[in-house]
Amino acid sequence: MKRYLAAAAAALTLASAAPSRAADDKAITLRLADTQSITHPVSVEGAQYFIKRVAAISGGKIRIDHYPAEQLGKSKDTLDVLARGGIADISFVGPSWYPGKLPLATVGDLPGMYVDAVAASRAVWKVVSTTVYEKELRKRGIRPLVAVLTPTYQVLSTSPIERVDSLAGIKIRSPGGTFENAAAVLGATPVSMPANESYEAMQKGVLDATFANYVVAAGQRLDEVVKFGTFGAPLGSFTNLYCINQRVWESLPKHAQDVLTQAGLETMDHLNEALAVREKALAQKWEQSGLMKIKHLNADEQKRLFEKLRPVQDKWSSDMDRRGLPGKQVLDEFRSALANADGK
């Protein structure tokens, strides 16, 4: 459907040799575990939209029971809950939560690679559904149905931001991992802490700023403590995956696999656009209301960040290679897919 179907369907049509889980004329019920509340935009436009599309495309023959808000396991447990099977059939998975288990799947998180997260999501899907699936996800017992990048992280600060490529003297909340390196390259002092602690830390002056997008910032009420922000900074993202247990997938009849594939591709388009619209609307609202002064980066400023942050990507690649993983291959494939993505 739309942008994904032609390019991605081939990547998800591996033949199944396992017996069918149910005859074509019988109903199928699956369990989907989510980490977000039912009002969170990723849940509303992602999980809930996917569930509705599965029901519609299958004519009601496939039902998905939704378990939101970590009902079947905490964020750090979603991979194991899904991979073990028997608890959830489909689950939301954030690869950055599992740097030791899903490192290759974090390639889309890397800073300095793209500004347009919608186009970048199409690119990351090409890599996640092929090479990353074969080299990493399948070995963990999971298969991707949806891969979406959140709008790119920005610098949200309690003090004015003159230059994003020079953040000397700023203590900034980092999601950890690669963002520690990105903060250091930009001259800032990274402070690793959970995102939900940013509000209090900035309120008390422990932090000067945080890496976040406006969708996340709204959910954490950061507009109450942050007075300055950027827009259009290519500072990386968070990869949102919805995956199905591999054994469950192989047990499904072909018609059910086709339904889940189509619904997943449609969900990627829908969630991508919904997050992009929400991000822009929030930034405009806060700027126009006077709550925040936003620095909109021009093409030259973006180019400087692309150049300055490339070593962070190369370090990620070499770190993967040292671990015996195809880091260079995955990074090269993502860069190539970005270059050919719509809107790039």
Determine the pLDDT at residue 24: 60
Asked if residue 168 is part of any domain, the answer here is: no
What is the average pLDDT across 156-166? 94
Asked if residue 132 is part of any domain, the answer here is: yes
Asked if residue 221 is part of any domain, the answer here is: no
- Domains held by the chain: number: 1
Residue 84 clears pLDDT 90, i.e. is over it = no
Nearest CA-CA partner of 59 in 251, 263, 271: 263
Asked if residue 78 is part of any domain, the answer here is: yes
Asked if residue 9 is part of any domain, the answer here is: yes
Asked if residue 74 is part of any domain, the answer here is: yes
Higher pLDDT: 24 or 109? It is 109
User: Each residue of 45-60: pLDDT tens digit?
Assistant: 999 999 999 999 999 9
Determine the pLDDT at residue 26: 87
CATH number for the domain harbouring residue 140: 3.40.190.170
What is the average pLDDT across 81-86? 81
- pTM of the entire predicted model: 0.90
User: Each residue of 98-155: pLDDT tens digit?
Assistant: 999 999 999 999 999 999 999 999 999 999 999 999 999 999 999 999 999 999 999 9
The secondary structure element, H or E, covering residue 66 is strand 62-67
User: Each residue of 240-265: pLDDT tens digit?
Assistant: 999 999 999 999 999 999 999 999 99
Residue 182 banded pLDDT, cuts 50, 70, 90? very high
Asked if residue 222 is part of any domain, the answer here is: no
Asked if residue 295 is part of any domain, the answer here is: no
What is the average pLDDT across 142-171? 96
- Domain of residue 141 covers 5-151+238-278
User: Each residue of 54-83: pLDDT tens digit?
Assistant: 999 999 999 999 999 999 988 888 898 888
DSSP annotation string for 133-196 = IIIIIGGGTEEEEEEEEPSPPEEEESS--S-TT--TT-EEEE-STHHHHHHHHTT-EEEE--GG
Q: Any idea of the CA torsion for 190, 191, 194, 196, to the nearest 10 degrees?
A: -100
